[in-house]
Amino acid sequence: MVAVTVGANLTGLCRAMVTQGLLSPEEGESLQNQSRSSGESFIAHLLRTRRFRADQVAAFASVNFGIPLFNLDALDPAVMPRGAVDPKLLAKHRVLPIAQRGNRLFVALSDPSNLKALDDIKFQTSLATDPIVVEDDKLGRWLESYGEATEESILKTIETEDLNLEFSDDEAQNAADTAAAADIDDAPVVKYLQKILLDAINSGASDIHFEPYEKNYRIRYRMDGMLYEVAQPPLAIKDKIASRIKVISKLDISEKRVPQDGRMKLVLSRNKAIDFRVSSLPTLYGEKIVMRILDSTSATMGIEKLGYEPDQLKLLVDAVQRPYGMVLVTGPTGSGKTVSLYSCLNILNKPGVNISTVEDPVEIQLAGINQVNVNDKAGLDFASAMKAFLRQDPDIIMVGEIRDHETGDIAIKAAQTGHMVLSTLHTNDAPATLSRLINMGIPSYNVAASVNLITAQRLGRRLCPSCRKPVEIPPEALLNAGFTEADLDGSWQAYTAVGCPTCKDTGYKGRVGIYQVMPVTEEINRLILKNGTTADIAEQARREGVLNLREAGLLKVKQGHTSLEEVLAVTNE
């Protein structure tokens, strides 16, 4: 082919074909003008002239623009990110999303010079767009079937014969009546929502975020502590999804100005049901809904599987099996405190024991345990529930969280009067928990006489066993992280994250617990009575062999469970 001089008014693929001699300047200008006047794309008009076949145009475009060529006959519909792009935008620009990896969206188009299409998709999805050249006739057939599937079912759902939202008879009727009145009992929306919930469960997600924005609507899963975008359904259905969730969670769908909290249950089979805690929040562009997945099987898998070191586990089990006293679990939101407490309750849950819990809300339901939900509107708070428990002949009491002096005071007195009390606080580590109780106004002698043991915890991401690889870390970096000279003896191997299909290219799969387990010994009791500082208590605990959170995390690095980067991020000493 011989390059020729072209007119300045020729653009895109037409200009490239004239430049390379496939069309004369006159032919190119004529075809471009005709396509513009008819309102169809240049390629579509070119193919109608039968001058070139679709595969010839695609091959030329791929070579000339340096963009990969793909045969749509080999495309697997299951991997297509349906819902990622507004269908109207796809039809307007004649493009097709064919795959997504992380924050990159691969878009099929027959005219790679259509930069406006790529820019519009990038703006709408907030994803980096990579163009892929395909044959125009095959693209047209795919767009037609893709548009029909999207329009008819808002992203095709999988068959879920046993999937059903469980209500009592009255609640089911109320939900049906409310849905009918609000015009939200839309079968595609219901199926789509069920698919989102089921996919979240199968993916091991802990939370689902439904987030409305001005020009797009996205759904994200929190997996292993990190948020990942999984879908961008049409913006038009955001209100229907929010209303549907609120109906089945027994929330007021007419109230959109204030936050609301509720819960729902998804029945997967006769023997399997998953609870969801639901929170709605008014935002600028609609209601954001966050659903926490509450899987009770996590509390019954056995405390030995949570990641405690053998000596830590023995201290904890011995403490909770004492006839009275207090065991406290501390850590930030999402660090697994509730699972740890319920794993302890599972050990204690026997026919001869009376166990009562009060939580806000109850996250895990276990048979044989009397569980109470806090209801502030009705005057049922932690303190009033605790007072009621003490008149119910309890052996073990679990308080969801000690938030104030009154709740802490009642819990301490219960621990001193022959009851085992388990609870949580929000502090950075175990030594700081004792100071926090005293700062709440609880006398130091009561704290010293009641608290048996405190465990602080964090959750770090576990390295994917399929793709983790050994890594050499400079000795200086290891020492700065907290390792000792004795640890640098070459007897262990550090690993780093890589990424593979098993872990969805994150390098991590699952989570590992990092724990500081501190028994309240006689020496620590003396420090409490002398109003010792948090630093004094931490120093004494170290002398007694208690690992702090950073040291416990570094032990997980030596064992190959997680990476040094992850431990440095979650312990933040």
User: Is residue 372 over pLDDT 50?
Assistant: yes
Bridge partners (DSSP) of residue 438 are none
Least confident of 99-108, 392-401, 549-558: 99-108
The predicted pLDDT at position 170 comes to: 43
Does 298-458+513-548 match 53-149 at the fold level? no
Q: How confident is the model at residue 156 (pLDDT cuts 50, 70, 90)?
A: very low
Secondary structure string (H, E, C) spanning 305-366: HCCCCHHHHHHHHHHHCCCCEEEEEECCCCCCHHHHHHHHHHHHCCCCCCEEEEECCCCCCC
Least confident of 253-257, 363-367, 510-514: 363-367
Assigned architecture for domain 164-294 = 2-Layer Sandwich (3.30)
CA distance 493 to 504: 24
> Each residue of 175-224: pLDDT tens digit?
555 544 444 446 678 888 888 888 888 888 889 999 999 989 999 999 88
Smallest CA-to-CA distance from 249 within 292, 209, 211 is with 292
> Each residue of 41-92: pLDDT tens digit?
788 878 877 788 888 888 888 888 888 888 888 887 777 776 677 776 777 7
Are 437 and 449 contacting, i.e. CB atoms less than 8 angstroms apart?
no
Give me the residue spans of the domains in the chain.
53-149, 164-294, 298-458+513-548
Helices 54-65 + 136-153 axis angle, to 10: 100
Give the CATH number of domain 298-458+513-548; options: 3.40.50.2000, 3.90.1580.10, 3.40.50.300, 3.40.50.2020: 3.40.50.300
Are 535 and 524 contacting, i.e. CB atoms less than 8 angstroms apart?
no
- Plot region of 12 (φ>0 → left; ψ -120 to 50 → alpha; else → beta): left
Q: What is the DSSP string of 484-508?
A: -GGG-SS-S--EE----GGGTTSSE
The predicted pLDDT at position 145 comes to: 66
> Each residue of 401-444: pLDDT tens digit?
998 899 999 999 999 999 999 999 989 999 999 999 999 999 99
**Residue 115 has which token pair?**
């930069």
Q: How confident is the model at residue 162 (pLDDT cuts 50, 70, 90)?
A: very low
Percent residues over pLDDT 90 in the chain = 41
> Around Cβ 378, how many Cβ atoms within 10 Å?
8
* Yes or no: domain 53-149 corresponds to CATH 3.40.50.740: no
CA 5 to chain centre: 56
Mean pLDDT of the chain: 84
Average pLDDT over residues 244-262: 90
3-state secondary structure of 178: helix
